[in-house]
């Protein structure tokens, strides 16, 4: 059921969430255009990247106004609200929380005023790994807490803590000290800014309007507002757009490590990443799956919609008929919560239901994008068998997810990842399939048409391209944890050398010190 306020929460099963998406960001500088409306439609195109909260900041040159709330874009904004957001520059955000709890205070864009009177609003896609360090710096610079507990607010505070510098100069001073994944759009009263971390983990693209400029997480958001794609924002690049035009500055040398999971699951199929159409890449992954894991079967079916392109590719390569075997309820998105264990067990049926006449008596190849905990696949296999399928062969268009992500995707902890504790046959038995095949890591990389060295593969192989800190907390609730410790202990109680590092599984327990690091 929906929550009491009518909005949908994020998880099919709140006790066992699957991989949650990175956030979506959008920014526009366009005098004479209805920038709030453009931002609304841009966020609508990016809704798949985050469904917990949405917000828009806008300026008419005299001040920055932010409107944000928990919920989907269409739930947060209506026509009267958008009509009240007037200006020539705007940024927007669709949130899934990767640092900080899902609260109104943590919704974005974040906003902060400097002592000189400039107001800064910022939206973030990604996740920083030196959050505790940044919090200390913000405190040393006299930036007081604003009720939020996310890394985005800290960056906004640090930008605002340099009132003697322009926002652009402050950004060039702050950005080199951030570690982790970030694609930022931010603004002051007159200027739109965009920045991408030196590794370019999360996507960010630049587009051109007839009377302005747009930046967005994915090219699909440019398409929806009628902007032409210019190029990607480069890793380590800061862009500023105002009445004087567009300026580009390097704040760090580029070391590209784009997220490989974007090609598998996160990005829309109609998006383009590094020149590669995502749908085409997923079809190619399906072809590779068929080569690596052939099987005799009667019908290839996708788990809609994430498995559809790969299922098409599998069918094309194998010669097995492609068809529909599962119907998705179009009115139940990725955001749903059940109020009781009984209904949670039935939750998958609220989203998917088998086409009995299509699957009865058939040997099925079921193609999906990933297995994290295995709950969804287990339920699907059971439903298909109950509907009369004689064999169910599961094919997965990504390698086993064995490691947590610290760069902007909220996977389960490592201890909860099915592939971490079981081999391939153990996973097959766990989900009840007749056979199970994952695409190889090399096959997945080949489908992206990107060199292995330019991709972050950490969730698959445990090789983290951005060093994870020793001596700092890391994880979604790092700032809440620090706050609780500070509240319970005085500064004299805490030894300088005390390490607050969670175990490799990404969990924190009671936030007691641990000597275990995040290095695999």
Which residues are bridge partners to 396 per DSSP? 368, 438
**Residue 306 is labelled as binding a ligand:** yes
Q: How many CB atoms lie within 10 A of CB 90?
A: 32
228 labeled part of a ligand binding site: no
| CA 90 to each of CA 86, 185, 501: distance values in angstroms, whole numbers, following the listed order | 9, 9, 38
Tell me the pairing of strands 53-59 and 455-456. Answer: unpaired
Longest dimension (CA), the chain: 73
Structure tokens given for 145: 């807490």
Tokens for 499?
């390490």
* 405 annotated binding-site participant: yes
Is there a binding annotation on residue 368? yes
259 annotated ligand-binding residue? yes
C-alpha–C-alpha distance, residues 399 and 376, integer Å: 17
369 labeled part of a ligand binding site? yes
Residue 494 phi, psi (nearest 5): -100, 120
Give bridge partners of residue 206 from the DSSP assignment: 215, 231
116 is in an annotated binding site: no
Bond prior to 339 in cis (omega within 30° of 0) = no
**23 in catalytic set:** yes
* Concatenated DSSP letters of 36-47: HHHHHHHHHHTG
How is 70-104 classified by DSSP, letter by letter? ES-HHHH--HHHHHH--SSEEEEEEE--SSS-SSG
DSSP tag of 450? S
- Marked catalytic residue, from 8, 12, 22, 23: 23
Residue 461, CB-side half-sphere exposure with 13 Å CA sphere:
14
Q: What is the DSSP letter of 416?
A: G
Interatomic CA distance for residues 396 and 367, integer angstroms:
6
Residues tagged in the binding site annotation: 259, 306, 368-369, 405, 456, 459
Q: Which residues are catalytic?
A: 23
Residues tagged in the binding site annotation for [4Fe-4S] cluster: 259, 405, 456, 459
Residues tagged in the binding site annotation for Mg(2+): 306, 368-369
């Amino acid at each position: 059921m929906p929550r009491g306020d009518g909005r949908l929460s994020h998880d099919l099963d709140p006790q066992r969430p699957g991989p949650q998406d990175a956030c979506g960001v959008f920014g526009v500088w366009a005098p004479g255009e209805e920038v709030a409306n453009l931002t609304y439609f841009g966020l609508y195109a990016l809704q798949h990247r985050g469904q917990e909260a949405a917000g828009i900041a806008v300026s008419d040159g005299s001040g920055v106004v932010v409107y944000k709330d928990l919920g989907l874009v269409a739930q947060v904004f209506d026509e009267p609200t958008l009509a009240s957001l007037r200006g020539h520059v705007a940024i927007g955000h669709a949130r899934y929380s990767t640092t900080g709890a899902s609260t109104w205070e943590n919704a974005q864009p974040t906003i902060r005023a400097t002592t000189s009177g400039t107001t800064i609003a910022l939206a973030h896609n990604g996740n920083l790994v030196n959050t505790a360090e940044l919090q200390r710096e913000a405190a040393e610079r006299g930036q007081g807490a604003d009720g939020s507990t996310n890394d985005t607010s800290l960056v906004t505070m640090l930008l605002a803590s340099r009132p003697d510098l322009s926002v652009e100069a402050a950004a060039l001073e702050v950005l080199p000290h951030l570690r982790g994944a970030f694609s930022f759009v931010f603004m002051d009263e007159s200027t739109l800014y965009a920045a991408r971390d030196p590794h370019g983990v999360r996507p960010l693209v630049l587009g051109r309007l007839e009377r302005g400029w747009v930046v967005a997480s994915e090219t699909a958001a440019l398409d929806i507002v009628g902007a032409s794609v210019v190029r990607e924002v480069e890793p380590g690049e800061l862009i500023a757009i105002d009445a004087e035009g567009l300026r580009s500055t390097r704040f760090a040398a580029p070391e590209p490590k784009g997220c490989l999971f974007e090609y598998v699951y996160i990005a829309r199929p109609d998006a383009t990443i590094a020149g590669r159409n995502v749908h085409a890449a997923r079809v190619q992954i399906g072809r590779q799956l068929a080569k690596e894991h052939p099987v005799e079967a009667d019908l290839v079916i996708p788990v809609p919609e994430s498995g559809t392109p790969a299922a098409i590719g599998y069918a094309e390569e194998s010669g097995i008929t492609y068809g529909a075997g599962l119907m998705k309820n179009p009115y139940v998105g990725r955001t749903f919560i059940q109020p009781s264990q009984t209904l949670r067990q039935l939750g998958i049926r609220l989203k998917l239901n088998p086409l009995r006449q299509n699957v009865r008596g058939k040997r099925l190849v079921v193609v999906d994008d990933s297995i994290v905990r295995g709950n969804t696949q287990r339920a699907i296999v059971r439903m298909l068998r109950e509907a009369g399928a004689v064999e169910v062969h599961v094919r997965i268009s990504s390698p086993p997810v064995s490691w947590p992500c610290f760069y902007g995707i909220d996977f389960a902890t490592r201890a909860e990842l099915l592939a971490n504790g079981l081999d391939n046959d153990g996973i097959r038995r766990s989900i009840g399939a007749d056979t199970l095949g994952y695409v190889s890591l090399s096959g997945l990389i080949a489908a992206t048409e990107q060199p292995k060295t330019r991709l972050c593969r950490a969730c698959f192989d445990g090789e983290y391209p951005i060093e994870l800190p020793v001596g700092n907390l890391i994880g979604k609730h790092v700032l809440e944890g620090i706050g609780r410790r500070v509240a319970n202990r005085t500064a004299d109680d805490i030894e300088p050398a005390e390490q607050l590092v969670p175990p490799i599984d990404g969990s924190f327990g009671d936030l007691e010190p641990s000597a275990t690091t995040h290095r695999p």
